Each structure stands twice: as structure tokens, then as C-alpha cells.
Amino acid sequence: MTVADLQPAGDAYRPPTDVAARDIMDLAFGLIRVLDDEGMAHGPWIPNLSRDTLVEILGTMFTTRAYDARMMKAQRQGKTSFSMRSRGEEAIGATTAKVMGPDDMCFPTYRQASYLIGRGQDPLVMMNQVYGNAADLNRGTQISGMYTAADLGFFSISGNLATQMPQAVGWAMAAKAKGEPTAALGFVGDGSTAEGDMHAALTFASTYRPPVILAIVNNQYAISTDEEVARGSAQTFAQRGIGYGLPSLRVDGNDVLAIHSATSWARDRALDGHGPTVIEFVTYRASAHSSSDDPTRYRPEDEFDEFPLGDPIKRLRLHLQHLGYTNDQANELDTTIRVMIEAKNDEAEAIGTINTGERPPLSKTFELVYETMPAHLVRQQKQAGLQ
């Protein structure tokens, strides 16, 4: 775990959105922060956000954390084969979901459940996917957590790392070609930046300058390996963007206000025709990589407690207290959400889990390969005893 150059909240300057990339190279080495340890907001990056919006973001984070915990429990109970949580990094999805417009498209990883929830997805829909039951929108085609939601501007998650980044750039190239006032937001993990796809994304973004935000979520780990294995001799991941002449921000990823402000800056820049922005969100993967992982094998158990950027939920709660939203109110919200999650889970389990209830039929496996089922699949489907 390395968080280089921990700049104090409020310290980083905020350039105009049409600034030239070369004039803000230092922002890739610093850390844009708004909230200090006491939950007070500082500096030019303070966003113009209502308390209600902040409470909504808090709610999304509560929901995500409760949801993740519940799905992890389901995995332990053998009701799904796999579970991936985003504990500690919920702020990034929850906040950027509020920044992006209704017609924008997010190209997520499996670590952005909070984005989907922030866009208003019903946790029941997500649970059905996790259980791969008959109501699963993916129709059982993907492992747990690989959601899709075109109507919410949430692209189908791929199991192949980083592939979504150049796709996000392509999506944005199309937006530009069509002259539509929309932007794409691609997410990639620190470890996954090593894939060639990331280079293609940065290169094409640099060449065509479409409205895209390339967000690197540095949660300190790939699976067992420290973020340094991918970062190498560079000081930060934001630094990568400099090589392509792209404006690159390094942002406190556990600071809802900083996330909102930086992402808005990048989106404004994109919609005004000034092209792509690279953002590194610095955060911490507080849970195991997945239910198949055992992090005690490679890191101290209490490392999250030592993480200098803290827990995003605690930090937002603290800030909200300054705005008059009390701890009790927050606790009440949290409790309501947990109850809701339990109820939704009962509903989902009633439909089915990986080994109970109703599953999507095998016919879906055949139907979804092509628009029209070709003759050889019709034959195979018959061999499989269908029709």
C-alpha cells in the first residue's frame, strides 16, 4: 500500500475546464481532496451540492455496503458461487453516478455496484443476477456480479479485464461523430491498467479527443499484488495520462466531494469539446478480492484502519453532521436500508438461487448467441432435449 504525496484537503488548485493538459501536469502527482479529517470542506474543488444530494449518495453507499455483505453471506451459504464486494470504495460509483447524465454511458468493472445502485437499480434485480435465477436480466449467462443495465447507462460488465476502456473511447467517438452532448465514463482497476487495452484507450482518446473520462480506481491491490506491481517506477497512475498529453487528475477516492467535483470538471470539459480526462481515484479495497480470495495471506488484517484516506462512509457522515444531518438520522437511514436489503433478498431467494428454485432455461444459452438462431444451434438445441 502506497499513497504518495498526501496533499492536505483544499490544497490543490482547480484549473478552468479548457486548460491545456501540459499546464496541469502537477495535478497528476498530487491529490485533490476537499474533506479534511474532521469532515470540513476546503478549497476550490468544493462542489455545489445540496445536503439532499449528499444524503442520497450516503444512502447509495449504505445500500451498496449492506448489499455486498448480504451477497457475501449468500455465497458462504452456498446460494451463489461467487461474490465480489467494493467495501471501502463505494464513494466512487455512488458519487460519479450522480454526476453523469441520463444519456451518458458508464463502462464499469465488477467493482462499481455502487454506480448501478446510484443510478437507481433495484437491488432485487441485482440479486437475481447474483443468484442466476429465472428473473436474472442476464439470463444466467454471467457469473455473479457481472450486471448489465442499458437503460441506466451501465454497460455490460466483462470478465476480461480492461477491455471496456477502449470500448468507452469508441462509444465517445460515436457520441462526438453524432454531435450528441453525452460522455462516456470508463472504470479500470489499478492492476488492470497493465493490459494493452488501457494503452489502446489512452492512445485513441489522445488521438480523437472524444468526450470520455478514463477513471483508474487505485484500491491498492490487484488480487494479491500491491498496486506497485502495475505502477512500477511511476509515482502515480494518473501520471500515465501525461504520457498521452491528456489532463490527468489524482483524486481522493474516499472523499465524496472531491470525487463529485473532479468528475464534474472532466464531464464539463468533455461536453465542451475539450476532450478526455484521466482520473486516478485513490481508495482501498477493504474486503478480499473476491469470495475465492484470502487476503490474510498477503496483507495485515488491520491495514484498512491505517489507510490514510479512511472510510468514505464515515467521512461523509462526519461532513453531513456539519450540515446538520445527525448521526442518528444516518443510523436510521442505514437501518432502513439493511431491512430493505433483507426483504429484497428474501424475494430474490424465493425466485431462486444457484441451487434452488427456478433458473433461466437452457434455451437461453442457445437463443442469445445470435440475433436469429442458425441451423446448427437449432440442431444442438434439439440434441439438448429442447423443443
Ligand X SMILES: Cc1ncc(C[n+]2csc(CCOP(=O)(O)OP(=O)(O)O)c2C)c(N)n1
Site for ligand X in 92-121 (CB under 6 A): 109, 111
When asked if residue 299 is in the footprint of another protein (CB under 8 A), the reply is no
Instruction: Return the closest-CA partner of residue 1 out of 311, 235, 307, 297.
Output: 307
Which of 150, 339 has the CB closer to another protein?
Answer: 150
Those residues whose C-beta lies under 8 Å from the C-beta of residue 11, and which sit 6 or more positions away, are: 30, 33, 42, 43
Distance, in Å, from the CA atom of 358 to the CA atom of 137, rounded to the nearest integer, reads 14
Q: Is 244 left (phi over 0), alpha (psi -120 to 50) or beta?
A: alpha
Bridge partners, residue 129, by sequence:
none
Which of 242, 313 has the CB closer to a copy of itself?
Answer: 242
Query: Which listed option, a copy of itself, another protein, ligand X, none, makes contact with residue 370 (CB within 5 to 8 Å by class)?
Result: another protein
Distance, in Å, from the CA atom of 116 to the CA atom of 95, rounded to the nearest integer, reads 11
Those residues whose C-beta lies under 8 Å from the C-beta of residue 75, and which sit 6 or more positions away, are: 81, 82, 83, 144, 291
Identity at 230, one-letter amino acid code: A
Least distance (Å) between residue 134 CB and another protein: 9
When asked if residue 244 is in the footprint of another protein (CB under 8 A), the reply is no
- Residue choice 10, 132, 140, 189 for contact with Mg ion (CB under 5 A): 189
- Cα distance between the two ends of the chain: 55
Least distance (Å) between residue 225 CB and ligand X: 8
**Which of 41-49, 157-165, 345-353, 357-365 is the region at the interface with ligand X (rule: CB under 6 A)?**
157-165
- Residue choice 16, 38, 120, 207 for contact with a copy of itself (CB under 8 A): 207
When asked if residue 230 is in the footprint of a copy of itself (CB under 8 A), the reply is yes
Identity at 95, one-letter amino acid code: T
Query: Which listed option, ligand X, a copy of itself, Mg ion, none, makes contact with residue 209 (CB within 5 to 8 Å by class)?
Result: a copy of itself
When asked if residue 161 is in the footprint of ligand X (CB under 6 A), the reply is yes
Which residues, 183 to 212, sit near another protein by CB under 8 A?
184, 191-192, 194-197, 199-201, 203-204, 207
Query: Which listed option, a copy of itself, ligand X, Mg ion, none, makes contact with residue 161 (CB within 5 to 8 Å by class)?
Result: ligand X
Give me the sign of the Cα torsion angle 90, 11, 213, 285: negative
When asked if residue 88 is in the footprint of Mg ion (CB under 5 A), the reply is no
- Residue choice 61, 157, 205, 256 for contact with a copy of itself (CB under 8 A): 205
The C-alpha cell 469508441 sits at 170
- Residue choice 20, 150, 343, 350 for contact with another protein (CB under 8 A): 150
Q: Is 277 helix (H, G, I), strand (E, B) or coil?
A: strand
Which residues, 172 to 191, sit near ligand X by CB under 6 A?
189-191
CB atoms within 10 A of CB 264: 20
Beta strand pairing call for 352-353 and 277-282: unpaired
Rg (CA), the chain: 21
Residues of the shown chain interacting with a copy of itself in the complex, contacts defined by CB under 8 A: 21-22, 194-200, 203, 205-209, 228-235, 239-246, 275
Please give the residue ranges that form the binding site for ligand X (CB under 6 A): 109, 111, 159-161, 189-192, 219, 221-223, 285, 289
